[in-house]
Structure 1
Amino acid sequence: MTNFFLPGFDLDVFVRDTLAEDLGNGLPGGGHDVTSESVIPAGARFAGVMDTRDAISVAGLPIAEAFFRALEPEMTIEILVEEGAQVPAGTDLMRLEGNARAMLTAERSALNTLQHLSGIATMVREYVDAMDNPDCTLLDTRKTIPGLRHLEKYAVRMGGASNHRMGLWDAAMIKDNHVLVAGSVGEAVRRAVEAGVQEIICEVDRLDQIEPALAAGATRLLLDNMEPDTLREAVSIVAGRVPTEASGGINLQTIKAKAATGVDYVSVGRLTQSAPAADIGLDFKPL
């Protein structure tokens, strides 16, 4: 079994709950794979090869392995490429040999997870390549599918980017609605400082908000929906006092110009929100 660990993520629970959903555990008539049980003899064995039909950045093979091992712990599984590897279409990713029913029951859950995570990693790599700027770091956001945040942010790292906040707990991020209640950018930041928050990211969408945010104690500025010329001016005003992050309106066509303005980070919600699944298949043959 490949070692796989993410802080805050329980792989065994994820695999158990995902398989239970597919098997219909707890539902009338549920709890089994009716097709495999009715068509495939209990002792039948398969060999299988998982391959990609797209050029991809790989993420999620150890998780896919865990689905198969949950149903047959002694299944022979060989992972053929490393996590984060960029591979061409037609690359074999995994070889398997074991009980046919177990393989067929785990197949869709394993593929769904691998396709989704590799799709994210592949899109991230496209953005990193389009940015073409080693001095600027690409970040994700909290725009993740509920229950999959740890995995999706893992896939972002496999694609070559870094993670923004993991959640609401590890940094304050003051946005327009917080400012609306507090009355001003400066007052919102001041309240966070007074509460003892160590990392305070403050969103600004106008240049005149920069100095009040910094004076109040912001530790990072998110420069929201600014065009490159405005971003350059903002970076000049900040003058290296805190890191700066460009966000909003960033796609493959605009990321290079925005990253070239001198910002430290560029964040893109699309990386986890809208990445298409990679085309990965699994072909079996009886033994």
Structure 2
Amino acid sequence: MPEGKIVKALSGFYYVLYNDDLIQCRGRGVFRKNKITPLVGDEVVFQAENDQEGYILEVKERKNELVRPPIANVDLAILVFSAVEPEFSTVLLDRFLVLVEFNQIEPIICITKMDLTNDEEQQKISEYAAHYQAAGYEVIMTSSETETGIELLHPHLEDKISVFAGQSGVGKSSLLNVLRPDLELKTNDISTHLGRGKHTTRHVELIKVGNGLLADTPGFSSLDFTDIEAEDLTSCFPEILRASENCKFRGCFHLSEPKCGVKQAVESGEIPTYRYDHYVDFLQEIKDRKPRY
């Protein structure tokens, strides 16, 4: 049986890339019975009489999967956040980073709309960028309007499944339009009434960019730590994980334990206070989560 990759899911159909052909498939009933939902990015076994009447027979084992956006086997997450309009949010960025780290996906932070910033805003964004770079993240500052910084993204996309993710209205579709001008993806400005981006992307689809596949995903503004346990959280903050090697006690949660290396790193300025505060808030959120039965 032939094997391919799902590159789009829409209205109950799965579009499987096989060689250079796109095969429209449905899922067999066995998936519903076993509670398996095929996702964009899945490697699948299928059968098809033609390119309009295929059936997915098997979903291969995934190396990871995201719930929102629904996509599997992601190599790289480009977390797109605007410098302004909407305002740069470290707490939302840190929520994305935790989810990406937990799923063992390589993250890149892409800050858009730098052309709209004044000197004070540029200085503030540069300081944030320096903090995240010190933590170990790559930060790329871009403008879709002037195409500044876009060329820095290309090498990271080669031979990978990458996902653009971030708050709606930050310019994900605009970035894709620069990377692939022939796409002419629909974009909208910020809703002045709601103060947030209008949702312009309605489904997940993998788009060929160079030798890689890139997903433009529906915008969203919140993330739940459904599968993350309290003891997992330290490893989702690289600089906290490094500092935790100096904690006196194993299993330290870095709250009120004595001789905590993380608390010492915060006090010395090695770890930004806002990153530590987000860790504490996320930890409490996870601890307060209702148990699943």
Q: What TM-score do you get using the length of structure 1 for normalisation?
A: 0.26
Structure possessing the higher radius of gyration over alpha carbons? 1
The structure with the greater share of residues assigned to strand is 2
